[in-house]
Amino acid sequence: MSTETKARTSATSGGSGTGAGIAQPRLGPIGWLRWMWRQLTSMRTALFLLLLLAIGAIPGSTFPQRSIDPARTAQYITDHPGIGPVLDRLGFFEVYSSPWFAAIYILLFISLIGCVLPRTKILWHQVRSAPPKAPRRLSRLAAHDEVEVDGDPEEVREALRAALRRRRYRVHAHDDQTLSAEKGYLREAGNLLFHIALIGVLIGVAWGHLLGWKGDVILPVGKTFANTLSRYDTFSPGPWVDVNALEPFTLRLDAMRVEFETDAQGRGQFGAPRDFEATTTFTDAQGTSEQRSIRVNHPLETGNGTVFLLGNGYAPKITVRDGEGTIIYSDATPFLPQDNFYTSVGAVKVPGATPKQLGFAGFFLPTGIIDDQGPRSLFPDALDPQLALTAFEGELFPSGRPQSVYSLDTEAMEAIPAADGTDQLRILLRPGQTFELPEGRGSITFDGVERFAGLSIRTDPGKSLTLVAALASLAGLVASLVIRRRRVFVRVGPGEGHSRTLVSVGGLAKDDDDGMPAEIEHLLTALEGRR
């Protein structure tokens, strides 16, 4: 025996008996790519990626997002110097634009496509092909029954063929003694529709994210909003949005009507809101003006966007003068409601004051009272409006950091003391009243109260596709759960007596199906007159 022959013999026999000599197959680059593709496109991987996508979205609702509220995001990082910068590097403050979230999204998209394409091909071949031949022994099937009836085998078989077709089976005869029937293809079609619709949802959401945008603005009564970037309080554009090419339109808030429950003995909802309605004048790009109403769940359509009424509140008209009586601030300043009775907080920032900038922070009380519980409102309507403020001086915007318009950053400011120097200066004003600031700093006047509307303007080009895909996925899911995939086989042959036929019927389902025996019993009722 040659050395080469001995080597081959040793490799195939494994000399030691432990299997160490058995050659193991090795995957080349193409083999590894095929293996990875099979893993990625498996249903288990798709479900895992869907779960991972849901888990990855949790930080987006837990941590402040820079695209929605940059001031709150910056404040969070400042308040958490240890973990804040780490989370920022990991993209937790910009979750939906982070590389890792995009990677999960794209992998899920590819995985679903890889699942759908081969299964669609398989379903297409199944629909075009005939049901399989009947087994020799139908008694081995999960559901089975056998009866002997009067009539010729061919007549009996044709009667069963008609009964099967009435039950919406596809029927095929492979020979003269058997029938093969199958139905329930819509079950797999529904399953495929569900997965294709999920792809549609992903495309719709991605389309809306890339080309959609959302902006929020607080608009006092009598003011006009123009759809430009500089007029928004917050603005979140998609990566592909040209912020300089927004649809041109204007929206003037003519009136804000709010109704509250006044029956204290009624349903236990004293002060609860009953109706919100903003009356506006909408002017489109062609200059055509039209009065429109915006209510909760009844938004205003602009053509390329939708204007929603998200909230409302009060904007006290405040005027600040310097020591020489010159007006350095005069505007309706929105205060943000904090409770159901519209106890509202806000800030007045006066950067034009000299030699130090002035700032006022405090409460607006629609029906005000100040007691042991502090400043609060007893009713949400403006029955006795009061403005309770404290005053500060110094630098309003230290380090140029973004900050909320409703709060005052006092890091680089000092509280103005009262005239006697014993306590911090506290100001309480009703409409029409003026308070003189100590040491010639000027004065502050509460001129009156106006309402404001909180508007959210959104453009989502993918919402129609997302809605249709979501409805389609629901329909596909229902079809895949309700429709049964069943096969029924019939075999006929001569019976024991003259002109008698022995009928054997068996059925099986793709999944567990407790109704299969009843299906066969119902099928055999077509032969009741022949027994």
**pLDDT tens-digit map of 360-419:** 999 999 999 988 888 899 999 999 999 999 999 999 988 766 677 888 988 889 999 987
81 vs 18 pLDDT, higher one:
81
User: 340 pLDDT exceeds 90?
Assistant: no
Q: Which is higher by pLDDT, 499 or 288?
A: 288
Find out whether the peptide bond into 355 is cis, omega within 30 degrees of 0: yes
Collapsed DSSP state (helix, strand, coil) of residue 183: strand
How far apart CA 485 and CA 224 sit, in angstroms, is 62
- Provide the pLDDT confidence category of residue 263 given band limits of 50, 70 and 90: confident
Q: Give CA 40 to chain center in angstroms.
A: 25
Write the single-letter amino acid at 423: D
Specify the range with the lowest mean pLDDT, choosing from 4-13, 155-164, 297-306, 442-451: 4-13
Res 358: pLDDT: 94
| pLDDT tens-digit readout, 203-251 | 998 899 889 998 989 999 999 999 999 899 888 888 889 988 899 999 9
Q: Which residue has the higher pLDDT, 366 or 7?
A: 366
Q: Which of the 8 DSSP states describes residue 494?
A: E
pLDDT, one tens digit per residue, over 73-119 is 887 888 888 999 999 999 999 888 889 998 998 999 899 898 888 88
DSSP label at residue 182: E
User: What is the signed CA dihedral for 164, 166, 171, 173, rounded to 10 degrees?
Assistant: 60
Q: Which of 146-161 are b and which e, b meaning 16 or more Cβ less than 10 Å from the residue's Cβ?
A: eebbbbebeebbebbb
Closest CA to 42 of 120, 116, 104, 96: 116
Distance CA 270, CA 474 (A): 41
- 261 or 197: which carries more pLDDT confidence? 197
CA 205 to each of CA 199, 210, 211: distance values in angstroms, whole numbers, following the listed order: 10, 9, 10
Question: By mean pLDDT, which of 6-20, 36-50, 164-178, 503-517 is the weakest?
Answer: 6-20
Closest CA to 445 of 350, 344, 531: 350
> How many CB atoms neighbour CB 12 within 10 A?
10
pLDDT for the residue 35: 86
Question: What's the pLDDT at 405?
Answer: 82
Under 8 Å between Cβ of 367 and 382 = yes
pLDDT of residue 428: 94
Mean pLDDT over residues 429-453, rounded? 94
Q: Is the distance from CB of 163 to CB of 442 less than 8 angstroms?
A: no
Give tens-digit pLDDT for 272-323: 778 889 999 999 988 899 999 999 889 999 888 899 998 899 999 999 999 8
Average pLDDT, whole number, for the chain? Answer: 87
List, as one string, the DSSP characters of 211-275.
H-EEEEEEEETT-EEESSGGG-SEEEE-TT--GGGPPP-EEEEEEEEEEE---TTSSS-TT-EEE
Q: Pairing between strand 178-183 and 300-301?
A: unpaired
Could you give the 3-state DSSP secondary structure of residue 107?
helix
Sheet with strand 500-509: strands edge to edge: 143-150, 500-509, 486-494, 178-183, 170-172
What residue has token string 């909802």?
269
What pLDDT is stored for residue 266 in this prediction?
A: 53
Chain region(s) in the chain for CATH 3.30.310.80: 132-184+484-530
Does residue 152 carry a pLDDT above 90? no
Residue range 451-471: mean pLDDT, rounded: 93
Between CA 71 and CA 87 the distance in angstroms is 16
Q: What phi and psi values does residue 495 have, to the nearest 5 degrees?
A: -90, -170
Which pLDDT value is given to residue 16?
A: 43
> b/e per residue, 82-110, with b = 16+ CB within 10 A?
eebeeebeebbbbbbebeebeebbebbbe
Q: In the prediction, which pLDDT does 292 show?
A: 93
Has residue 23 got a pLDDT over 60?
A: no
Q: Give percent of the chain above pLDDT 70.
A: 92
CA angle 144, 147, 148 (to 5 degrees): 155
Which comes out higher in pLDDT, residue 155 or 263?
Answer: 155
pTM: 0.69
Both tokens of 24, joined, read 């193991």
The fold adopted by the segment(s) 132-184+484-530 is: TATA-Binding Protein (3.30.310)
Mean pLDDT of 422-449: 92
pLDDT bucket at 268, cuts 50 / 70 / 90 = low
What number is the average pLDDT over the span 313-336? 93
- The residue length of the chain stands at 531
Q: What is the mean pLDDT of residues 427-432?
A: 94
Q: For 276, phi and psi rounded to 5 degrees?
A: -125, 135
How far apart (Å, rounded) are the C-alpha atoms in residues 442 and 356?
A: 12
Q: How far apart are CA 210 and CA 188, in angstroms?
A: 33
pLDDT at 12: 41
